[in-house]
Structure 1
Amino acid sequence: MVATVIAGVPDMLDVIERYRTLYTGLVYDIMDEMGLPHQALATDIRPLRDDMIIAGPAFTMQGINDPVGDPGLRERRIRMFSEMRHPCVDVRDAGFDTRVAHYGEMNAVLGRAKGVVGAVIDGGLRDSSLLIKMGFPVFRRFHSPVEALNRWSYYRWQQPVALRGALTATVTVHPGDFMFGDIDGVVVIPKEHIVEVLRRAEEHAAVEGRARVEFADPANDVEEVYARYRKL
């Protein structure tokens, strides 16, 4: 299976595994320090199960309302999945639709076969119990049993999309931007900053680890320990 290649990222699989050892709060703080505070998605975009983690470059898709039925939907859907490369995250802009499920089990089955490692859906989800059994990580805004066919359709993919944001109305996600999500939510790392954010976050995590050990030792003076790590 062909791996996703992004300029400036020497080994995406290694980068993914390293991000998975971190947590979103730390990664967000690093981006905030770098002048990138508006990279957190809306707080109601949540994991299907609390222990799910998502990490990988975005494969973006924008959808639109489709009240009459798109005769070319099946062919375009197959073409879209055929363009996915391992490892990628299926990122869907549902176009502010709040009626239907924009992702379900068959999407996950097709996607996983093409190398998709998870999905971030600014919209609705169904087949949730089946997705949980698959162990397939999905972040979504809401659940709906309603079929999308003839109500909502794939419009375009691998173009910038706008997902709801935590601090701004929307967060723009470009193809290849890094999606990182855990129980606290999802952050979007611009592709040109993937490695730098990772490096800084790992350095900060190492310092945090030493601070935890010292704070936990009752023999240490709390104020002295705090003075050493007050920038945390």
Structure 2
Amino acid sequence: TDEPKGLLSLPESERDRLSEALQILLATGSINGVDSNRSALYHWCRQYFEWLKEIAALSGLDVALIHEERLIQAIPRTAALRLRLKQEETLVWLALWYAGDVRWRDEGQDQAFLSVAELNDLIRDQLLPDATGPIPKGRLRDILRMAARFNLIRFEPAEPFEESGIEVLPAIRRIIPFRDLAAWTETAATFHRESDGENPSEDDETSDTGEDEP
């Protein structure tokens, strides 16, 4: 009987596509078919999803195909592949999760939009009410770009920076998988305690993305 075809027997062009998909999943945690630069690859991955699952498994990843979001999401099998966030990054991502949850769950909106100014207000009011000032603009810009790279938000920079637009994407619910707002509040409370004088940790592991920040 003929042996089943494996990944090594694929044509070179298909192996190149598969390699590209795996590299993107390892670097950013997902492939977003809404992105015009990723649309063709997303459709290729849908067509050959079993190949993608096989090669991802060899790298320690499960993959999920979320049709309604046109997204292919990587799910690490081990802690070694999870993204480790520094404190300010964790803070911003928690605030983005909260903003999305309020708009989707409480307000019944289909999309979750806010400005950088509203994000800063949210961080101050909900996470660090006793903070002396907002996160520096340059640092916040970098954190938002990182979140966009992981397909957690769409980010539209503007001048002044506070008017920059943010759309929180549903993928953030899987990357920061709180069961409900009460679970979020419990985590957010750690920032209140740290602002009262406790020593913050260097890193807070909060998300199951493809790999450490590239």
Higher strand share: 1
Q: What TM-score does the superposition give when structure 1 sets the normalisation length?
A: 0.30
Q: TM-score, with normalisation over the residues of structure 2? A: 0.31
